[in-house]
């Protein structure tokens, strides 16, 4: 299936590690020019974006910015538009997954998880959607939710599950507001994907086996598989899909 994404422009937050890197990589493989947002490890990000350019013949832009800060979101969008003149696809992928009980944690810890996982997606979506409307180009916003936004099965993640559940409703509310303008909003809920966010868990003795028992397909997903889904959802082949969060958990939500 030709997804007809060649020449499109994507901005992917947290786009140089884990799932974000899988998304940036597969979009580049489909001919999309990618602005890769990051907050840490600039040398790794530069090596990654240079490799994508060389390997796939697309343009890339490493773009620094903390998604939880308004000014950084302004700057990120301005830099991407300056370089590429438009943004067709926004992937709100950046997130953190700390483990701490709600009744124990300081208010600031709760606030930080909500700010990065939920408020960041709102702030950046608003800015990018305005740029799409100004240019009358239509577009797609993809929010990286989680199985945890639907089901809170593990302890110590109350802030995270609350943020992701909020993100699912942001997806629906924004889709309701802007889909008639040709801008679709879709969420993805992965289950267990092998990335830096959870390696402290699956590297612990015995825990990998415990996780695998809960995954009907019997395996962790690889980041590039989320990239395949993003590419499909970003394409016009998915023109009838908006305002929903797709289960990509390998059956964990059955
Ligand atoms: P990761 O740790 O590799 O990716 C998170 C990215 O977000 C990193 O690049 C990090 O630098 C970036 N980030 C963190 N705070 C930021 C901030 N304030 N501003 C900008 N960037 C920031 O982990 P992974 O797994 O790739 O996570 C990506 C997304 O997928 C997250 O939203 C996570 O909640 C979600 N997810 C991951 C699952 C998994 O099994 N790995 C399962 C379900 C959801």
- Cα–Cα separations (whole angstroms), residue 237 to 173, 224, 253: 22, 19, 26
Query: 176 near 248, Cβ under 8 Å?
Result: no
Pick the atom of ligand 1 nearest to 198's CA.
41
CA-to-CA distance for 103 and 121, rounded, in angstroms?
26
Mutate to test the pocket of ligand 1, among 15, 19, 48 (most ligand atoms within 8 A of CB): 19
* pTM of the predicted model as reported, rounded to 2 decimal places: 0.98
**Residue corresponding to tokens 């700010």:** 115
Mutate to test the pocket of ligand 1, among 20, 36, 40, 188 (most ligand atoms within 8 A of CB): 20
Q: Is residue 253 part of a domain?
A: no
Its domain, for residue 143, covers: 9-248
Burial of 33 (0-12, 13-18, 19+ CB in 10 A): buried
- Per-run averaged pLDDT (10 residues), the chain, 254 residues: 97 98 98 98 97 98 98 98 98 97 97 98 99 97 98 90 98 98 98 90 78 93 98 98 98 96
Bridge partners of residue 85, in order along the sequence: none
Q: Is residue 2 part of a domain?
A: no
Q: Tell me, in angstroms, the distance from the centre of ligand 1 to residue 180's CA.
A: 30
Q: Is residue 1 part of a domain?
A: no
* Ligand 1 pocket residue status of 93, Cβ below 6 Å: yes
Number of structural domains the chain divides into = 1
Q: What local confidence, expressed as pLDDT, does residue 222 receive?
A: 97
Q: Is residue 85 part of a domain?
A: yes
CATH number at residue 120: 3.40.50.720
Catalytic residue list contains 122: no
Q: Tell me, in angstroms, the distance from the centre of ligand 1 to residue 117's CA.
A: 9
Q: What local confidence, expressed as pLDDT, does residue 200 receive?
A: 81
Q: Is residue 33 part of a domain?
A: yes
Q: Is residue 254 part of a domain?
A: no
Q: What local confidence, expressed as pLDDT, does residue 158 receive?
A: 96
Q: Tell me, in angstroms, the distance from the centre of ligand 1 to residue 136's CA.
A: 31
Query: 244 near 168, Cβ under 8 Å?
Result: no
* Ligand 1 pocket residue status of 116, Cβ below 6 Å: yes
Pick the atom of ligand 1 nearest to 16's CA.
9
């Amino acid at each position: 299936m030709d997804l007809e994404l060649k020449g499109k422009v994507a901005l992917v937050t947290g786009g140089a590690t884990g799932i974000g890197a899988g998304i940036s990589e597969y979009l580049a493989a489909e001919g999309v020019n990618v602005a890769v947002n990051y907050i840490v490890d600039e040398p790794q990000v530069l090596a990654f974006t240079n490799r994508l350019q060389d390997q796939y013949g697309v343009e890339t832009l490493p773009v620094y910015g903390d998604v939880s800060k308004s000014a950084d979101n302004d700057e990120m969008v301005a830099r991407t538009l300056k370089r590429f003149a438009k943004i067709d696809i926004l992937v709100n992928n950046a997130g953190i997954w700390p483990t701490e009980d709600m009744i124990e944690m300081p208010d600031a810890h709760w606030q930080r998880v909500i700010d990065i996982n939920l408020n960041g997606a709102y702030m950046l979506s608003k800015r990018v959607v305005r740029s799409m409307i100004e240019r009358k180009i239509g577009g797609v916003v993809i929010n990286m939710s989680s199985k945890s936004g639907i089901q809170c099965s593990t302890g110590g993640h109350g802030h995270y599950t609350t943020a992701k559940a909020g993100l699912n409703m942001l997806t629906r509310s924004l889709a309701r507001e802007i889909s008639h303008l040709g801008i679709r909003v879709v969420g993805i809920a992965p289950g267990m994907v092998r990335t830096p966010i959870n390696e402290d868990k699956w590297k612990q003795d015995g825990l990998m086996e415990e996780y695998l028992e809960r995954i009907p397909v019997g395996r962790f997903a690889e980041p590039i598989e989320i990239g395949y889904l993003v590419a499909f959802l970003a394409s016009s082949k998915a023109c009838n899909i908006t305002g929903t969060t797709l289960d990509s958990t390998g059956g964990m939500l059955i």
